[in-house]
Amino acid sequence: MTARYAVFGQPIAHSQSPHIHAAFARQEGIALDYQAIEASPADFPAELERFAAGGGVGANVTAPLKEIAFGLCRTFTSRAKLAGSVNTLLRKDGYWHGDTTDGVGLVRDLTERHSLDLRGRRVLLLGAGGSARSVAPALLDAGILELIVVNRTSERADELVDAIGEPGRAKTRHWEDLHDLGDFELIVNATSAGRDRNATFELPKALVNSMTTAVDLNYGEAAIAFLAWARAMGCRNTVDGLGMLVEQAATSFQQWHEVRPETDPVYAGLRARNALAGEE
């Protein structure tokens, strides 16, 4: 039976993951069967088991399925346990092993591709879902000074910060308090608000200083609204999630095939093709 790989999500037709993994496989001379599979949260467990029965040995998971995927794993990495969500699945002896690679992908993109020094930075994280839960610990590991998590449902932000367990560095605030938080060197949008075509971001200008980098974990159309706000506010840099996507995919690929592919040519190719993706 041919080994199969896939990315699961809803919606999934926009996903760049099949193109990315195909490019990695060409680099390494690996024959790869990687498909995009749309699954609702209710259908995902059954779809994943059907995939495994058909030869599925590895999968990526995107919104809104990352936390459901965590619950379907028998084992997982320590960073996945901390996040409470997974985006990478590996079949082991008849069960799923889970990891979350979004956080390490974001840090690699920011520090290596965009040459940002995250050490000692004050960071605002908007959102507390699966992606936010993955990137928050990685940002702290990268040496940031302080992480403020703000979510429209404050209980979710509290759960995230409690899981991190670093009350001196990771804190929550209410969305209504954004005007009173001071300014940040890094603002990360981990919400899904930009997926609404009519979305606009109305955040206080006081959040921005002369060094601020604004990052949207989304890419393409979903990143337009937040990055437009960031440019209008005078942020020094704006970065969408395309680089993070490529870097997290490389970490997934390495886990499945035991070799890490070169990411720069794949990123450059996607950037050239994706006219709607945000710009640095």
pLDDT band of 239, cuts 50, 70, 90: very high
Which position among 66, 81, 92, 171 bears the catalytic label? 66
The mean pLDDT value for 221-233 works out to 94
pLDDT band of 106, cuts 50, 70, 90: very high
pTM value is 0.91
pLDDT digits (tens, 9 = 90+) for 187-203: 999 998 766 666 678 89
Catalytic residue status for 66: yes
Q: For all residues of the chain together, what is the average pLDDT?
A: 93
pLDDT digits (tens, 9 = 90+) for 134-164: 999 999 999 999 999 999 999 999 999 999 9
Task: Say if residue 126's pLDDT is above 90.
Answer: yes
Domains of the chain: 4-100+243-273 (3.40.50.10860), 103-241 (3.40.50.720)
The mean pLDDT value for 98-120 works out to 97
Q: Are 32 and 5 in contact (CB under 8 A)?
A: yes
pLDDT digits (tens, 9 = 90+) for 23-38: 999 999 999 999 999 9
| Nearest-angstrom CA–CA distance, 35 and 258 | 20
